[in-house]
C-alpha cells in the first residue's frame, strides 16, 4: 500500500446520499470491486444498544453482539477474496476494515448487505420475532488509499470503546447546542457549540494568533506567556490552524488545568465529536468548540478571508485583548 503523498492520514472525499436511515457515502469514481482496504461503519436501528454495555471503558458484548462478531469474522468463509481485517463491535454500531485481496465479481457493498441480512435472519429466529429491525438502512464506508490512513483508522477503531464509554459517562459535553445566546459571542451569527459551554462564563480570555512565518523563538516566547495565563485560569481562544497555534494548543493541553475555545471553520456534521486529542480534552470539560458555519457535507476551502474572519471573531470573544 502506498504512503500518503503529504504524510497525512487523509480520507478520500465521498458523496452523501440523502435517503432515510444512515447516510451511504460512496466515491463517484471508485470501482468497489477493486483490491483495497475499506472501513465500514454500520449502526443499529434507532441506535439501540443491542450489542453490549460499557464497563471500565470497554464494551462487554451481549449474546447478540457475539453473534454479530461471529458473523463478521465468518465473511471470508463465504467470500474468500475478502479478509475481515479489523473489527470492534460497539453497543449500537460496529466499525470494521475489510481487505479485498483480489478483484471481486460484485462490489464490496454486496458482501456488506449479505452480512447485515444474515445477522437479521439469525436474530429474528433466535428472538422469535420475524419483524425485528436490527440495522439502520445503509452503511458508511471509507476507501483507504494509503498506509498512514490505514494505521490511523486502526487506531481509531481500537480506541473506539474507550471513547464511546467516555461519551456515555459525560453526554452533556458532547451534545451540539444550536443558536447559542451568550454576550461573549459576536452578534449577527448563528453560533453552535460542542463541549463545556460554561467556559464562556470564565472571566479571562486570551487570543492565540500565530503567523505561519513566526520563528521558533517567537512561538516559544508566546508559549511562556500562555502558560503564565493558563496558571491564572485564562481560557485560550483560537481557530488553532497554523503550526504555531497548534503547538500552543498542545502546550495548553499538556497542563493540568488549561482550557481552550476552538473556532471550527467547517461547522458540525451529524454525530460530530472533537477529533483526536481534543476528544479527551472535551471529556475533561476543558474544551468548547464553536462555529457559526453550516456544515455542507464536504471540506470547505480554508481561504485567507475565512481565517481573517475567524480571528476577528476570536478578538471579539476575548474583548479585544488580543495576544499576538
pLDDT, tens only, 257-278: 899 999 999 999 988 999 889 9
Specify the pLDDT at position 25. 54
Nearest CA-CA partner of 161 in 248, 66, 58, 306: 58
Cα dist from 38 to 12, 86, 92, whole Å: 11, 10, 20
Q: Which three cell numbers stand for residue 206?
A: 486570551
Dump strand ranges (E) for 2-138: 15-17, 24-26, 36-43, 52-55, 58-61, 82-89, 93-100
Q: What is the pLDDT of residue 23?
A: 46
Where does residue 290 rank: exposed (0-12), middle (13-18), buried (19+ CB within 10 A)?
buried
How crowded is residue 202: how many other Cβ atoms within 10 Å of its Cβ? Answer: 15
> What pLDDT shows up at residue 256?
85
Residues of the chain with pLDDT under 70: 3-28, 320-324
For residue 73, count other CB atoms closer than 10 A to its CB.
Answer: 12
Domain residue ranges of the chain, discontinuous segments joined by +: 15-167, 172-323
Spell out the residues 6+ positions from residue 13 whose beta carbon is closer than 8 angstroms to its own.
27, 298, 299
Grid coordinates belonging to 122: 439469525
Question: Do residues 79 and 111 touch, judged by C-beta distance below 8 A?
Answer: yes
The pLDDT assigned to 26 comes to: 60
Reported as a single tens digit per residue, the pLDDT across 279-293 is 999 999 999 999 999
Domain 15-167 has CATH 3.30.70.1290: yes
- d(C-alpha 81, C-alpha 103), whole Å: 8
CATH architecture of 172-323: 3-Layer(aba) Sandwich (3.40)
Per-state percent for the chain, helix, strand, coil, to nearest 5: 35, 20, 40
For residue 29, the model assigns a pLDDT of 74
SS3 112: helix
The reported pLDDT for the residue numbered 17 is 33
Kindly list the distances between the CA atom of residue 109 and the CA atoms of 31, 71, 122, 127, 179, in Å, as whole numbers in the listed order: 11, 16, 20, 27, 39
Amino acid at each position: 500500500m502506498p504512503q500518503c503523498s503529504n504524510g497525512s492520514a487523509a480520507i478520500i472525499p465521498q458523496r452523501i446520499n440523502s435517503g432515510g436511515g444512515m447516510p451511504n457515502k460512496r466515491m463517484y469514481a471508485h470501482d468497489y470491486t477493486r483490491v483495497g482496504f475499506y472501513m465500514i461503519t454500520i449502526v443499529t436501528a434507532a441506535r439501540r444498544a443491542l450489542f453490549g454495555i460499557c464497563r471500565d471503558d470497554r464494551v462487554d458484548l451481549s449474546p447478540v453482539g457475539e453473534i454479530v462478531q461471529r458473523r463478521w469474522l465468518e465473511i471470508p468463509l463465504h467470500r474468500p477474496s475478502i479478509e475481515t481485517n479489523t473489527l470492534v463491535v460497539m453497543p449500537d454500531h460496529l466499525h470494521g476494515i475489510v481487505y479485498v485481496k483480489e478483484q471481486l465479481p460484485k462490489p464490496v457493498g454486496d458482501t456488506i448487505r449479505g452480512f447485515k441480512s444474515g445477522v437479521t435472519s439469525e436474530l429474528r429466529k433466535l428472538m422469535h420475532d420475524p419483524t425485528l429491525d436490527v440495522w439502520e438502512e445503509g452503511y458508511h464506508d471509507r476507501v483507504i488509499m494509503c498506509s498512514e490512513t490505514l494505521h490511523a483508522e486502526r487506531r481509531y477503531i481500537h480506541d473506539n470503546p474507550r471513547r464511546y464509554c467516555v461519551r456515555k459517562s459525560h453526554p452533556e459535553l458532547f451534545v451540539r447546542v444550536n443558536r447559542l445566546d451568550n454576550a461573549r459571542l459576536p452578534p449577527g451569527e448563528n453560533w453552535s457549540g460542542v463541549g463545556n459551554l460554561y467556559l464562556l462564563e470564565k472571566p479571562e480570555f486570551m487570543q492565540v494568533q500565530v503567523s505561519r512565518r513566526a520563528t521558533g523563538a517567537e512561538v516559544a516566547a508566546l508559549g511562556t506567556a500562555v502558560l503564565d495565563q493558563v496558571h491564572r485560569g485564562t481560557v485560550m481562544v483560537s481557530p488553532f490552524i497554523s503550526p504555531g497555534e497548534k503547538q500552543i494548543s498542545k502546550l495548553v493541553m499538556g497542563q493540568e488545568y488549561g482550557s481552550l475555545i476552538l473556532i471550527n471553520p467547517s461547522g458540525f456534521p451529524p454525530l460530530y465529536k472533537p477529533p483526536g486529542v481534543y476528544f479527551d480534552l472535551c471529556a475533561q470539560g476543558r474544551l468548547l468548540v464553536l462555529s457559526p458555519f453550516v456544515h455542507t457535507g464536504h471540506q470547505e476551502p480554508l481561504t485567507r478571508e475565512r481565517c481573517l474572519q475567524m480571528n476577528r471573531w476570536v478578538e471579539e470573544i476575548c474583548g479585544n485583548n488580543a495576544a499576538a
